Each structure stands twice: as C-alpha cells, then as structure tokens.
Amino acid sequence: MAQAQRRAVECGVPDPAPFMHPSLLKNKGNWKYHDRPRPGVLHHVSHSGDQVWSVRAGTQRQMDTYTIRTLCDIADKFGEGFVRFTIRSNIEYILADQKKVDPLIAELEKHGFPVGGTGNSMSMVAHTQGWLHCDIPGTDASGVVKSMMDELYHEFKNEEMPNRLHLSTSCCEINCGGQADIAVIIQHTKPPKINHDLVANVCERPAVVARCPVAAIRPALVNGKPSLEVDEKKCICCGACYPPCPPMQINDPEHSKLAIWVGGKNANARGKPQIMKMVASGLPNNAPRWPEVNKVVGDIIKAYKADARPWERLSDWIDRIGWPRFFEKTGLTFTKYLIDDWRGSRANLNASAHVRF
C-alpha cells in the first residue's frame, strides 16, 4: 500500500538563532571592532568585552558526507558544535577561547583544509556546477576551480595581496559565477548547430526567437519540418538560445573557448561597484587542468601583486595605471574584440586626451 501523501510544511527560511554560536547570539548587533591576528583568523571584540576568534578554512564546495562529518567532528572538538559558511564556500569556526585557535588550525590542516581566505588574501573561487550537474555547461566548474586553487594555494593561505582578491568561474555566458576581480567565463566562437529533427517537438519557437539579443533567429521550414534558422553573420555566439532550445547545441569541444575578465568589484568601498571587463579570450577548454587559463590568471595576479598599492583592488589598480599598461604588465594582447560595440558602448571609449606615456 502506498503511504498517504505528505504535504510540505511551507516553513520558509528558518530562524538562524538556534544555529548560531552562543557568543554571536549574545553579542548580536553589539560588535565594536575586529583585527586579524594571522591569515585565516578574524578576532572580533564586542562592546560587552566579549571576544571571538573565527577560523576560516577552504573547502571543495561539492562535499561528500564524509567530508562534512569530518568538518563537524572538528567543530564538536574545538568549536562548541557550531560552524558557518561564507559566500565563497569557506567554513568558519567560531571560538570564544583563544587557546583553541592554534590546535583548531592544526586539526584543519591535518585533514587537508587550508586555513586562510581572510583580508588581503585570495579567497576561494565562487563557482557554478559545470559538467557535474548543469544542463547547459560549456566546461566544468569544480575542476577549473580545483586546478586554480592548487596553483594559488599560497595566496589563499597568506595575506600578501594589495587588497582582497575574488575570483569566479562560469560555464556559460549567463555568468552564474558572478562579478569578480578575475573571472573565467566560457566564450563560444561558433553559432549553434541545429538538430532540425528535434526543434519542433522540443522548443517553443517564438520564445527562442525572442531570446536572441541580436534578432538572428527566425522560424523556418527545414526538410519539411518547422524549425529555426540562425543568421550566422549576425550571431554573436552567446548561447542564449540553447537553454530554451537544447537542439540548438552551442557547446563545442573545440570552439567553446574560455575568456578572462577583470576588474569586477562588488563593494562600494572607494569607487562605486564595477562591472568586469573582458581582457583575453580564445583559451582552450583544456580539461582536466586548464593550464592555459591558469597561466593567464596567474600572470594577472602576479602583475597585480607586484604593482598595485595597498588597498587597491584590481579595478583600482587599473584605474591608476591605465589599460595600455595593464596589457603590457600582464603580457596580454589588446585586440579589436575588446573594443565594445554593444549598446551604450561609446561610454566605454576614451572621450578625452588623457593618455599615459
């Protein structure tokens, strides 16, 4: 016999109080200042005089239950049974007792969780699902991120950057990874390959036509079947048609490339928030470790680390040195594809005689 169907209890977002470390609950809204005794550790002082030490460690984000239980064991032993996660998938342990900080760090490192990601370090890469789970991915996410974090391990564990450095990756141009100082995003270079046998049955054709940013798609009869066709001269290979119409395959093992974007900034600190700019494209989707992507990202980080002044985010640094020197210092090539011709593009051109020599 089938059981009676259970209806969901529409309870929504839970109250965080029962999940919060007692010191955080007690001092909520009453914190005075913080400092960072060492990379990976934040020390917060409350107006009440209470203090907490937060120890931050990197994780692989996609975690098996063994890993999560290991992190829980460590929390039970050192962190009074509470943890929290940051937006970049780092785990944080809250300690009311400073004496537990070093033993906790030792325990985390023993189990392979690097302690760091605070202040002017490079934090974990914000990333998406990729081949592991997404239905439209041009590349993997976890793998690209793993290979980058291996290369940049030292920069996660140390605070040696001019300011904080945030990275993201995205497996299609929807850019779920988000704005970042440096972002790795798929950039397709060929129009979709259409399976005309399937379009009529799978796709709502007017909706697909409406999705195209450049009106390159039109309904057509192909081999006697209702389908869609793409004006390949107009097509900008963005892939917007692929999610609503999977028979318009945009992903290509060879021609789906990776592009690098820089200078996204979420914070309002100093200048206003910034949208990132494309600075390189055409990098091969070279699984499993994407060495070409890592080389470019590494070169940008090296140049930023060497040349930016304290508190300059990547975008602040470029504002000071200018784009020609950015390309010079990173060894990247400024091509015609980096001159914006999308709507509003003239605002991105230099309407002045400001030139750095």
Indicate which single residue of 89, 187, 227, 294 sits in contact with another protein (rule: CB under 8 A).
89
d(CA 11, CA 118): 34
Query: Does 221 participate in binding another protein (rule CB under 8 A)?
Result: no
- Least spacing, CB of residue 45 vs another protein, in Å: 8
Which one of residues 2, 6, 110, 224 is an interface residue with another protein (CB under 8 A)? 6
Which tokens is 161 given? 């950057």
Sign of CA dihedral 71, 74, 80, 86: negative
3-state secondary structure at position 41: strand
List the one residue from 59, 118, 187, 315 that touches another protein (CB under 8 A).
59
Shortest reach from residue 232's CB to another protein, in Å: 19
* Per CB under 8 A, 64 contacts another protein: yes
CA-derived radius of gyration, the chain = 24
Say whether residue 61 binds another protein (CB under 8 A). yes
Minimum separation from the CB atom of position 301 to another protein (A): 16
> Which residues 233-272 are close enough to bind another protein by CB under 8 A?
238, 240, 246, 251, 253-254, 256, 264, 266-271
8 counts as binding another protein under rule CB under 8 A: yes
- Using CB under 8 A as the binding rule, whether residue 82 contacts another protein is answered as yes
Question: Which CB, 136 or 222, lies closer to another protein?
Answer: 136
Binding-site residue total for another protein (CB under 8 A)?
A: 120
Alpha carbon of residue 178 to chain centroid: 5
158 binds another protein (CB under 8 A): no
**Distance between CA 135 and CA 316 in Å, rounded?**
37
Any contact of residue 12 with another protein (CB under 8 A)? Answer: yes
Residue 63 CB contacts under 8 Å (≥ 6 apart), including other chains: 71
Among 65-73, 216-224, 319-327, 349-357, the segment contacting another protein (CB under 8 A): 65-73
Are β-strands 91-95 and 167-170 bridged in parallel, bridged antiparallel, or unpaired? Answer: unpaired
The answer to whether the CB of 233 falls within 8 A of the CB of 281 is: no
Kindly state whether residue 320 participates in binding another protein, applying the rule CB under 8 A: no
Cα torsion 294, 296, 302, 308: sign: negative
Exactly one of 1, 2, 49, 65 binds another protein (CB under 8 A); that residue is 65
Interacting residues of 352 by C-beta distance below 8 A, sequence separation 6+: none
Q: Which of 275, 295, 339, 348 binds another protein (CB under 8 A)?
A: 275
The pair of structure tokens assigned to 287 is: 């699984």
Nearest distance, CB of residue 226 and another protein, angstroms: 21
Q: Residue 112: left (phi > 0), alpha (psi -120 to 50), or beta?
A: left
Does position 175 interact with another protein (CB under 8 A)? The reply is: yes
Minimum CB separation from another protein for residue 311, in Å? 5
| Distant-in-sequence, close-in-space partners of 235: CB < 8 Å, separation ≥ 6 | 191, 192, 214, 216
Tell which positions 102-141 bind another protein, by CB under 8 A: 112-114, 126-140
- The pair of three-digit structure tokens given for residue 311, joined into one six-digit string: 């508190």
CA distance linking residue 344 with residue 332, whole number of Å = 25
Residues 136-155 close enough to bind another protein by CB under 8 A: 136-140, 142-143, 146-147, 149-151, 153
Nearer to another protein (CB atom), residue 178 or residue 298: 178
Map residues 193-212 to x or -, x wherever contact with another protein holds by CB under 8 A: --------------x--xx-
d(CA 312, CA 267): 12
Contact 214, 310 (CB under 8 A): no
Q: Does 81 bind another protein (CB under 8 A)?
A: yes
Quick check: 84 binds another protein (CB under 8 A)?
yes
How far is the C-alpha of 316 from the C-alpha of 29, rounded, in Å?
A: 31
Considering the complex, state which of residue 135 and residue 357 has its C-beta at the smaller distance from another protein.
135
CB closer to another protein, 129 vs 281: 129
